[in-house]
């Protein structure tokens, strides 16, 4: 969890302008902020800023700069995230691994990397910036341009670019390598993009063994990368249960944080017992968020979290912002508790709903925004990628996690969006995908005797009073329908 800023501009911003522009993003990297200004040799200044969250214990300083500006040989690396497939015996850190690979690799593709990352590599000799996003854009990244100007910027947060005067700000697409060319004399940067990781759409696997092995590996990588053990937001649902079960089976240390107000109490109780008997060191359990805490969390999101409106409709023409979402308020409350307890890494269940179920079950939509009600077709050709695979709620809820965890200096890691794991799910035969709700997770939990509520999708309502009102309304509606039928 860090944040990055790359600017190529004729008129550099002042120190005060940079401080204001960095207000939200700096919370992602509370360990250190490093700023470098360089000339690009073509009447522009390069401004590079990195906010570091030191999880590895190496405290690697960025940007990584090599070469000589006067000789036209500058090479610059900015990096946010984690690379899991580097050799720690050969490199001190994943940043050092990237710095060694990138110079001279004009077409350095994201497909060679396993991780959760946003990478910027500038080559003065080629007058080119490479912007590399992981397959699901788990780390936010935005491009910025100014009308009537050749100025160009890339930042982790859109607010950073907007506060620096960029009026054309767009999100980098997931699974993309963006090539930005700065040809001398051209009025604007040339931007092209190509894909990175290519998924295989054959549906040929007849059991869940490959998925389970890939899931255990996805959790292992994320739980063991760096010097800090992770925490999990534990609910009675499928996704967090699978993460905890995997950590238990791997015997990796972790802790859990739970708000019980909308959860099945029996499932939570048994999960806490089983986790404690395995590798969970402590379960932090909260009955619910009080009205005062809810108000404080809502205000905190409104003032300290990157502004963001969801990119999906929760009803006809109905979109909401972070501070209107119960889930965001709950994540913010638990992140505040985890930060106070010293945690810097969260292993999240984000992405499972979008990949495994589309918020549907057996042809019935659980929520309005479901596209195909959880029924996968006989052929993925022409169907893939479905709306939520990269965008829609995938984008909304991933950035909810990133922006709220970022506010607390906590890195989010997403095993359900591991490219190898997603590939294993795509390879499953349609009958297995459609066997039951979130079939791979259900099979995994059932096979290892880990408690869950089969076929139940619970919404997150962190406020005890709010949950009681919801149930009263539901019961009243049920009795009214019963009476009308009588």
**Confidence (pLDDT) at 450:** 98
Q: What CA–CA distance (Å, rounded) separates 359 from 195? A: 27
- pTM, two decimals, is 0.92
CA 329-273-416 angle, to 5 degrees, is: 50
Q: Which of 223, 183, 197 is nearest to 134 (CA)?
A: 197
Q: Are strands 254-259 and 280-286 parallel, antiparallel or unpaired?
A: parallel
Q: Which of 236, 420, 403 is nearest to 322 (CA)?
A: 403
Q: What CA–CA distance (Å, rounded) separates 88 from 94? A: 8
The three-class DSSP label of residue 381 is: coil
Residue 480 has pLDDT above 90, yes or no: no
Let me know: does 159 contact 24? Beta carbons within 8 Å: yes
Q: What CA–CA distance (Å, rounded) separates 112 from 48? A: 25
Provide Rg for the chain, Cα atoms. Answer: 23
Let me know: does 50 contact 62? Beta carbons within 8 Å: yes
Let me know: does 163 contact 200? Beta carbons within 8 Å: no
Write phi, then psi, for 326 (nearest 5 degrees).
-55, -40
- Which single residue is written with the structure tokens 């997770």? 441
Let me know: does 235 contact 243? Beta carbons within 8 Å: no
Q: Running DSSP on this structure, what letter comes out for residue 12? A: P
Percent of the chain exceeding pLDDT 90 equals 71
Residue 474 has pLDDT above 60, yes or no: no
Query: What's the whole-number mean pLDDT along residues 429-458?
Result: 97
Q: What CA–CA distance (Å, rounded) separates 104 from 188? A: 24
Q: Which of 214, 216, 239, 210 is nearest to 353 (CA)?
A: 239
Q: Are strands 142-145 and 45-52 parallel, antiparallel or unpaired?
A: unpaired
Let me know: does 436 contact 454? Beta carbons within 8 Å: yes
Q: Which CATH architecture has domain 3-195?
A: 4-Layer Sandwich (3.60)
Question: Where does the pLDDT of residue 478 fall: very low under 50, low under 70, confident under 90, or very high at 90 and above?
Answer: very low
Residue 477 has pLDDT above 50, yes or no: no
**Confidence (pLDDT) at 314:** 86
Residue 72 has pLDDT above 90, yes or no: no
Let me know: does 327 contact 349? Beta carbons within 8 Å: no
Let me know: does 137 contact 172? Beta carbons within 8 Å: yes
Query: What's the whole-number mean pLDDT along residues 101-117?
Result: 70
Please give the distance of CA 291 from its chain centroid, rounded to a whole number.
28
**Interval 123-176: pLDDT, tens:** 988 888 999 999 999 999 999 999 988 899 999 999 999 999 999 999 999 998
Let me know: does 326 contact 314? Beta carbons within 8 Å: no
**Burial readout 42-71 (b: 16 or more C-beta within 10 A, e: otherwise):** eebebbbbbbbbbbbeeebebbbbeeeeee
**Interval 422-432: pLDDT, tens:** 999 999 999 99
Q: What CA–CA distance (Å, rounded) separates 418 from 414? A: 7
Report domain extents, the chain: 3-195, 209-471
Q: Which CATH class is domain 209-471?
A: alpha beta
CA 238-243-249 angle, to 5 degrees, is: 120
H helix count then E strand count, the chain:
15, 19
In the numeric block, which tokens belong to residue 323?
């501070």
Burial of 122 from C-beta contacts in 10 A (0-12 / 13-18 / 19+): buried
Q: What CA–CA distance (Å, rounded) separates 120 from 370? A: 34
Question: Where does the pLDDT of residue 316 fall: very low under 50, low under 70, confident under 90, or very high at 90 and above?
Answer: confident
DSSP letters, 84-121, are: -SS-TTT-SSHHHHHHHHSTT-TT--GGG--EEEEEEE
- Which single residue is written with the structure tokens 């999960």? 271
Greatest mean pLDDT among 69-73, 120-124, 333-337:
333-337
Residue 317 has pLDDT above 50, yes or no: yes
Q: What CA–CA distance (Å, rounded) separates 241 from 351? A: 14
**Confidence (pLDDT) at 106:** 46
- Which single residue is written with the structure tokens 């913010």? 332
Q: What CA–CA distance (Å, rounded) separates 247 from 340? A: 23
**Interval 47-56: pLDDT, tens:** 999 998 888 7
**Interval 329-349: pLDDT, tens:** 999 999 999 999 999 999 999
CA 87-93-95 angle, to 5 degrees, is: 110
Q: What CA–CA distance (Å, rounded) separates 338 from 349? A: 16
**Confidence (pLDDT) at 486:** 44
**Confidence (pLDDT) at 320:** 87
Q: What CA–CA distance (Å, rounded) separates 33 from 63? A: 10
Please give the distance of CA 308 from its chain centroid, rounded to a whole number.
14
């Amino acid at each position: 969890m860090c944040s990055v800023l790359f600017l190529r501009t004729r008129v550099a911003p002042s120190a005060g302008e940079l401080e204001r522009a960095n207000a939200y993003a700096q919370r992602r990297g509370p360990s250190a902020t490093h700023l470098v200004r360089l000339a690009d040799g073509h009447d522009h200044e390069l401004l590079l800023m990195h906010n570091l969250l030191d999880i590895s214990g190496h405290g690697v300083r960025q940007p990584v700069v090599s070469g000589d500006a006067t000789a036209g040989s500058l090479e610059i690396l900015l990096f946010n995230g984690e690379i899991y497939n580097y050799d720690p015996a050969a490199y001190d850190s994943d940043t050092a691994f990237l710095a060694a690979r990138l110079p001279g690799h004009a077409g350095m593709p994201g497909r060679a990397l396993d991780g959760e990352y946003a990478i910027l590599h500038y080559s003065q000799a080629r007058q080119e910036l490479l912007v590399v996003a992981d397959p699901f854009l788990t780390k936010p990244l935005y491009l910025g341009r100014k009308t009537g100007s050749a100025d160009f910027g890339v930042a982790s947060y859109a607010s950073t670019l907007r506060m620096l005067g960029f009026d054309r700000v767009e999100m980098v697409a997931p699974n993309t390598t963006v090539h930005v060319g700065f040809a001398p004399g051209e009025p604007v940067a040339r931007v092209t993009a190509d894909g990175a990781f290519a998924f295989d759409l054959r549906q040929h696997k007849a059991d869940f063994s490959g998925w389970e092995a890939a899931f255990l590996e996805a959790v292992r990588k994320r739980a063991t990368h760096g010097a800090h053990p992770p925490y999990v937001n534990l609910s009675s649902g499928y996704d967090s249960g699978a993460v905890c079960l995997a950590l238990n089976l791997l015997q990796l240390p972790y802790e859990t944080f739970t708000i019980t107000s909308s959860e099945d109490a029996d499932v939570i109780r048994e999960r806490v017992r089983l986790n404690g008997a395995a590798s969970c060191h402590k379960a932090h359990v909260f009955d619910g968020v009080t009205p005062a805490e809810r108000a404080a969390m809502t205000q905190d999101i409104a003032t300290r979290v990157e502004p963001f409106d969801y990119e999906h409709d929760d009803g006809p023409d109905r979109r909401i912002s972070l501070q209107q979402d119960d889930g965001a308020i709950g994540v913010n409350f638990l992140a505040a508790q985890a930060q106070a307890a010293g945690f810097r890494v969260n292993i999240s269940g984000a992405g499972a709903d979008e990949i495994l179920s589309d918020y549907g079950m057996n042809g019935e939509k659980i929520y309005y925004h479901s596209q195909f009600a959880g029924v996968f077709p006989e052929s993925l050709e022409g169907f893939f990628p479905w709306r939520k695979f990269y965008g829609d709620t995938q984008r909304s809820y991933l950035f909810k996690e990133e922006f709220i965890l970022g506010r607390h200096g906590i890195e989010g890691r997403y095993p359900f969006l591991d490219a190898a794991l997603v590939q294993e799910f795509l390879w499953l035969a349609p009958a297995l995908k459609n066997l039951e709700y979130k079939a791979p997770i259900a099979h995994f939990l059932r096979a290892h005797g880990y408690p869950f509520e089969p076929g139940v999708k619970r919404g997150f309502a962190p406020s005890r009073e709010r949950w009681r009102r919801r149930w009263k309304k539901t019961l009243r509606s049920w009795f009214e329908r019963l009476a009308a039928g009588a």
